[in-house]
Structure 1
């Protein structure tokens, strides 16, 4: 009979623990989604300027129109 009481107590605390884990998992999921969205925006708007900056700092030094032209 004492084992039933222990089972209920541990089950109740287990439920609380799973709720905490669920809240943490939800937070991590939301944070991961937010981070990926921001990373996507930074990559989208930062890739071409990064290529131009790297190209301008390479040897031999090209002119801007040479970097942007397809030839």
Structure 2
């Protein structure tokens, strides 16, 4: 009987997987900070301002965290 075993991790495969593991963490940080900025700005300017601030912060963080 034959069994399928995963290949042993090598340097090449671990380098290729690093960005894939970092991606969810990156988006979690972006969503968290953008959400906090939206919550902080909503009492001052309302819902439209909160959406604008969240979008601007998310776009800025997306470019910065790359």
TM-score (norm 1): 0.43
TM-score (norm 2): 0.45
Which has the larger helix fraction? 1
Q: Which has the bigger relative contact order, CA under 8 A and spacing at least 6?
A: 2
